[in-house]
Amino acid sequence: MSTNKSPVMVEMKNVYKYFGQLRALDNVSLDVLDGEKVVLIGPSGSGKSTLLRSINQLEKIDHGHIIVDGMDISDPETDINKVREEIGMVFQSFNVFPHKTVLENINLAQIIVRKRSKKQASEISRELLNKVGIIDKVNEYPDKLSGGQQQRVAIARALAMKPKIMLFDEPTSALDPEMIGEVLDVMTKLAKEGITMIVVTHEMGFAREVADRVIFMDYGTIIEEGTPEHFFKNPTQERTKIFLNQIL
C-alpha cells in the first residue's frame, strides 16, 4: 500500500448511477491515492465497469461527487475535456482507430489536444511503442495487428497524453489466451513507474502481483476491500468468498 501521506487522486463521495430502474452504482464512496494501484473485481453487472467509466465521465453519475486531481467532474462548470486529458483509458475492445496507422493513432490526440508538433508527437509515440514492444509495427494499420498488439497500441495511445491516472476496463477479456500475457506484462511494467492505476480485470494473478488494494464489488456497492494478501487469504464477507471460490 502506498503511504498515507500521498494526496488523493480520485475521490468518490456517495455516488449513485441509475440505468432506468437498475441501480448500477449504489452509494459508492472511494478514495484512490496518488500512485496507488487499485484492482476492481466482481461478477458481471456488479457495477465495476460503470464505476471506472464514471471517473472520466463516459458515464454521467446521477448523485454524489467525483473529484479527480482536485477537479470536481460532477460540477457542470468543470471542463471535462481538461479532466480527460489527465486520465488515460484502455478498453476491452481496444478501440484503436482503424483508419489511422499505429503511429497516427498515437499521434492524433497529442497533436490536436496537447498541441504538440507532429515531430514532437512522433518522438513520444516511437518511445512508447518501444516500451510496449511493437516499434516494428509503427506504420501498419490496426487490421494487420493481433488483438494483443492492438491493445498495446491503445495503451501507448493513452500514455502519450502523459496522464496522471490510467483506467483499464477489462483490457484482456477480448484477447485470445496466448496474448493476455503480453498485455499484462506491459501493464505490470507500467505499474512499477508510479502512475495511478485503476484496473477492472478477472486476472487474479495480476491483481495479486500488482495491486496495492483489491476491491470486490457486487450489486453496485463495494462489498469488501483490502490488500491482496488479506483479500485472497482471509476474505471476511460471505459474498467475496463465494465469488473467489467460483473463479479461483
DSSP E strands, 60-119: 63-68, 71-72, 87-90
Does position 97 interact with other proteins (CB under 8 A)? The reply is: yes
The verdict on 109 binding other proteins (CB under 8 A) reads: yes
Closer to other proteins by Cβ: residue 165 or 214: 165
Cβ(160)–Cβ(110) under 8 Å? yes
Q: At how many degrees (to 10) do helices 118-131 and 147-159 cross? A: 130
Q: Which of 8, 71, 108, 138 is close enough to bind other proteins by CB under 8 A?
A: 108
∠ CA 150-152-155, nearest 5°, is 115
d(CA 36, CA 2): 6
In the list 15, 61, 96, 195, the residue contacting other proteins (rule: CB under 8 A) is 96
Contact 132, 156 (CB under 8 A): yes
Residue 211 DSSP symbol? -
CB 85 within 8 A of CB 114: yes
Interacting residue with other proteins among 63, 113, 117, 238 (CB under 8 A): 113
Kindly tell me which residue out of 25, 73, 87, 207 binds other proteins, with binding defined by CB under 8 A: 87
Per CB under 8 A, the segment of 24-32, 43-51, 86-94, 201-209 that binds other proteins is 86-94
The answer to whether residues 85 and 36 touch, using CB atoms and an 8 Å cutoff, is no
DSSP one-letter code for 160: T
| Contact between 117 and other proteins per CB under 8 A | no
**Interaction residues for other proteins, span 135-174 (CB under 8 A):** 142-143, 145, 147, 150, 154, 157-158, 161, 174
- Check binding of 58 to other proteins (CB under 8 A): yes
Q: Hey, which residues between 197 and 226 contact other proteins (CB under 8 A)?
A: none
Site of interaction with other proteins (CB under 8 A): 56, 58, 81-82, 84-85, 87-89, 91, 93-99, 108-109, 112-114, 142-143, 145, 147, 150, 154, 157-158, 161, 174, 176
